[in-house]
């Protein structure tokens, strides 16, 4: 399986400006969130990216892509009809290819040489099936994520066979159907905001129906896909920053800075700041 396309969703009413925020990268450059995402994706072997945006935001997005404009396609979601809908309208862009799905309000920091996106793409190419990036997450954060239940693939401690996926489950539901053997008690595999999806998933998504609020969610189609074909989850060696959370951008900025060459300087500043405040 070759993965050369990516889709970034950035049209949600509460999230559409988040990719445009700027921060200082690990290497010390000031960049937008979107630009950092694009850098990582192209470095991981992606050749073209479709960005799903809200109407009227294209101008701002164009100025935020930082030199990648020719490899980017903007797709307008005219109505805010859910995450699933945002992905579905990228169907023409992805065509019959498998693709990498990203969300515009997350940043990633790998703890190994290979970036988070590259780790995911490599596994998906190797296993020739859809793969979602996941992270073991404490149950107190269940209200924020899609959660995967399954079992470990033998021989690879970070790879899981997906059996069930639920969106923002209650801890009770999670304990009943999402426990993954081998994880610490009270921890679940939560989505990392990064998936490699296949054409069959897009077919499944096209067949699925909207929920009671008229929106098309993504998770039920992912769950249905898991029932129909081999679907894996990969626990990545890296960290995710959700810049949509309160202080999310600050945390992302600090995370990036502390992973770069200016680590000591940043640490000293933080300590100074702590000492100066009560």
Q: Kindly tell me which residue out of 60, 97, 175, 245 binds another protein, with binding defined by CB under 8 A.
A: 175
- Residue 240 sits at φ, ψ, to 5 deg, of -115, 140
Residue 98 contacts by C-beta under 8 Å, 6 or more apart in sequence? 1, 2, 3, 124, 130, 196, 197, 198, 199
Beta strand extents in 139-228 (DSSP E only) = 146-152, 159-167, 187-197
Interacting span for another protein (CB under 8 A) from 29-37, 178-186, 251-259, 263-271: 178-186
Check binding of 141 to another protein (CB under 8 A). yes
> Does 223 participate in binding another protein (rule CB under 8 A)?
no
Query: Of 71 and 168, which has the nearer Cβ to another protein?
Result: 168
Q: Is the CB of residue 202 less than 8 Å from the CB of residue 94?
A: yes
Asked whether position 171 contacts another protein by CB under 8 A, the answer is yes
Among 122, 161, 167, 173, binds another protein (CB under 8 A): 173
Write the CB contacts of 9 (distance below 8 Å, at least 6 apart in sequence).
52, 83, 86, 87, 101, 102, 103, 104
Figure out which of the listed residues 2, 62, 138, 230 binds another protein, where binding follows CB under 8 A: 138
d(CA 220, CA 216): 9
Q: Does 176 bind another protein (CB under 8 A)?
A: yes
Q: Which is nearer to another protein, 139 or 204 (CB)?
A: 139
Selected from 179, 183, 259, 266, the binder of another protein by CB under 8 A is: 179
Select from 39, 105, 127, 139 the one that contacts another protein (CB under 8 A).
139
185 binds another protein (CB under 8 A): yes
Angle between helices 33-43 and 116-127 (to 10 degrees): 40
Q: How far apart are CA 34 and CA 12, in angstroms?
A: 15
The span of 27-35, 139-147, 225-233, 270-278 binding another protein (CB under 8 A) equals 139-147
Rounded to whole angstroms, the Cα distance separating 49 from 28 reads: 25
Least distance to another protein from the beta carbon of 167, Å?
Answer: 11
Q: Which of residues 94-113 bind another protein (CB under 8 A)?
A: none
Residues at the contact surface with another protein, assessed by CB under 8 A: 138-143, 170-176, 179, 185-186
């Amino acid at each position: 399986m070759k993965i050369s396309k990516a889709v970034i969703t950035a049209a949600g009413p509460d999230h559409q400006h988040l990719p445009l925020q700027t921060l200082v990268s690990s290497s010390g450059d000031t960049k937008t969130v979107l630009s950092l995402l694009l850098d990582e994706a192209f470095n991981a072997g992606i050749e073209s990216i479709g960005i799903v945006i809200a109407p009227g935001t294209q101008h701002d997005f164009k100025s935020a892509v930082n030199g990648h404009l020719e490899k980017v396609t903007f797709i307008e979601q005219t109505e805010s009809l859910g995450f699933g809908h945002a992905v579905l309208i990228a169907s023409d862009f992805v065509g019959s290819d498998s693709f990498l799905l990203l969300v515009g309000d997350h940043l990633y920091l790998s703890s190994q040489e290979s970036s988070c996106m590259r780790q995911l793409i490599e596994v998906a190419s190797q296993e020739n099936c859809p793969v979602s990036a996941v992270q073991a997450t404490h149950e107190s954060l269940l209200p924020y994520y899609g959660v995967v239940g399954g079992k470990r693939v033998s021989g690879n401690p970070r790879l899981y066979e997906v059996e069930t996926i639920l969106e923002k489950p209650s801890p009770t539901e999670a304990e009943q159907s999402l426990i993954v053997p081998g994880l610490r008690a009270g921890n679940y595999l939560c989505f990392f905001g990064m998936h490699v999806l296949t054409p069959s998933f897009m077919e499944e998504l096209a067949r699925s129906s909207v929920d009671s609020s008229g929106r098309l969610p993504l998770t039920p189609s992912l769950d249905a896909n898991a029932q129909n074909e081999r679907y894996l989850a990969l626990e990545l060696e890296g960290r995710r920053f959700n810049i949509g959370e309160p202080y999310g951008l600050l945390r992302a900025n600090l995370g990036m800075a502390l992973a770069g060459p200016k680590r000591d300087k940043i640490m000293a500043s933080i300590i100074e700041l702590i000492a100066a405040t009560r």
